[in-house]
Structure 1
Amino acid sequence: MTRVETIHRAIRHIYGAVLAPNDWPTALTSITEAIGAQKVMLNETIADAAGLAVSMGIVPVNAARLQHEFETRLPDWIKAIPVGTPLRQTSAISDADFRRSDIYNEAVRPEGGFYGIVAPLVRLPRRQVHFSVGRNLGSMDFSDADLDAAKLIVPHLRTALDIRGRLAAADLRAQGALDVVAELNVGVILLDAAMRPVLVNPCAEALAARRDGLLLNRETVIASQHSDTQDLRRAVATAARWHDVSRDGREMAIRPAVPMRCCLSRQPPRPPLIVSVMPVCGAGILGERSLAAGVVLFVMEPDRASDIDPIVLVKTFRLTRREAALANLLARGMDLAEAASRLGIGIGTARGYLKQILSKTYTHRQAELVALLLRSSTQLTQCR
């Protein structure tokens, strides 16, 4: 294999390691072959966090020593190397001075090495990444051709690390969004382009587990009644058509609006579930299925008891904690006597609290108060 071919192979392996971190050792092995080294190390130092540390051709305990030197007392000659520039150590420090240096005596000499090439890849206040290759003691110094190979590879290493960081950030953002969806007290079901469920939050799972109105499995979402299933599929199909870019925009604009909403009947006396359907675009992959041109279903229970955070009522309407507790019970559908009994207070005391609540919320009747509380509350509690 020619030098050019080994360089191309190393670059391919570098980008492969971005998507499969377990492949970093393979990528580094390819780099040593392309540059003509026996040892290689990629070390990332992040303040107050764990970074990347991968090495090949070094006894593990000595790899840790070299990593320690990079992290705690990086030599000045390495600090002076411009970011993204591979440099032979002999271009920055004499062999005699190198033999007297801490990094040689503490890390390089114990594992039997001497000549090396070092390249800072990232140099930020809270994050530094260094790439280094080395040769065993007694081997010749790296040639100009070896250095040229390193110069071709290092930019790809920097790009790969940047991609790795962006993917990690995207994963965090996606996970944060999924965490929010999981806590909603509304059923949420994401369907992919083939209309298969790729994400079902706990509330939707609980609704489906009752097998009353909503039914779902790994391949489809249906209703308990056939006619409701037909309505659901029409709503989903309507939402999905908004992804069809081949349609004439004028046609979409003048076409009568079709509500993307349907009801799923349940056993009496329970009211039907209300399903709202919306188109959603996603460029990423979730559960190995693309969300591109998919839809999201929001499933709501009209008769589900509201559970408003009393702290929200305290801060929003300046209620006392006892007033907020009473208001919460009233919003959940209890009458004043039931709420008083739940709180362990007399009906007269409850009437006094209610009078104060009506005054602070500028409402005049209990029904008006409950409507206000339900409109003003944003609930992110789990479905029970």
Structure 2
Amino acid sequence: MAVLSQLTLEKLHAAALDPGLWPEALTEVADAVGAQGAMVHAMAPDPRDSVLHVGRLDPDCDRLYMQQYQINPMSMLLMRRRPGEILPTMSQCRQELRRTAFKADILTPQRIEEITNLLYGGWEDVLTGGFGFCLNAKGAETTAGHLAKVAEAAPQLTLALDLARHLNGTARRNWSAMLETMDAAALLADAGGRVILANRYAERLLRRGHWLRVHAGRLQASRAADEAKLAAAIRTTVLAPVTQRRRSRLSLRAVGNEPPCLAVIAAAPAIPVAEFGLPRPAALLILRDPSPRTDPALLRSLFGMTESEARIAAHIAGGLSLGAAAQRERIAHTTARTHLQAAFGKVGVHSQSALASLLARLPESD
């Protein structure tokens, strides 16, 4: 009988696409190979970009590990080993682990006496990674049998990560194409605010830096007073259980005198980080630029306006009065009114406010 049942394999393959399913899949794999708990880990050069999914392990210890202990005697050993190797890591680092804070804070509280690692080599720019299986004292007494089960399951486990890596590229291409079809600034960010993908409108808005900017790869509010609520909204959206995910709305104030930017934040599950191929939840941010610039060429294309009509309509959409628009174009007020009335007819509205409201929803020029 195979070590991994058909149901467990199906859960592994599902987890390759939906990161919310990793805990259940890893728990079943741990049971199948006789382990206390299991993990899948991709250790990045920047520890903040590393990925960890676990089954039946202490979440507090997991968070502490990601924050402080990714570099430890065992990970240093694994960085020197080859993909595909299966090894009982703790027993090979016993002396180095003695009296370390890592052992005291991570291993001892969970009663972990051995960790078996199956190394994966398909990710780019990853220091080390793959599956890890934690054994308690009883499990460590039968390490040989456990290693045999891991070896038998290794092809299926590796295939699950191959699938995750493949889906990574497909998902990124699909999300990138979808974001580019949107007429609003839109981007994807992980729980820590790292920008994963952004469309051209979002990149333009971020470059302006009036409401949001990117610092060290992380999304930040331009005003310090908005930073905490932005970070909390993204983190809550990403980390909330699937059944509790809700959209949130934020008003982000500008550093200057411009009106605030409205941000709608929603969950976007299974967004991969390119280098590692392990999908994880992300947040989709849709940003409404409060000071859009309507392109007269777009108005000519969409509504058949003349050049003069389009320029007057664009000024109205930008918040100018008809008199100010006439002065800007250096034409008589009556001439400007004639152009505006023609624009009303072509758009199908009857007031300046209706025209401005409709045109404000059009995309900016590329």
> Structure 1-normalised TM-score?
0.44
Higher relative contact order (CA 8 A, sep 6+): 2
- Give the number of the structure whose alpha-carbon radius of gyration is greater: 1
> Structure 2-normalised TM-score?
0.46
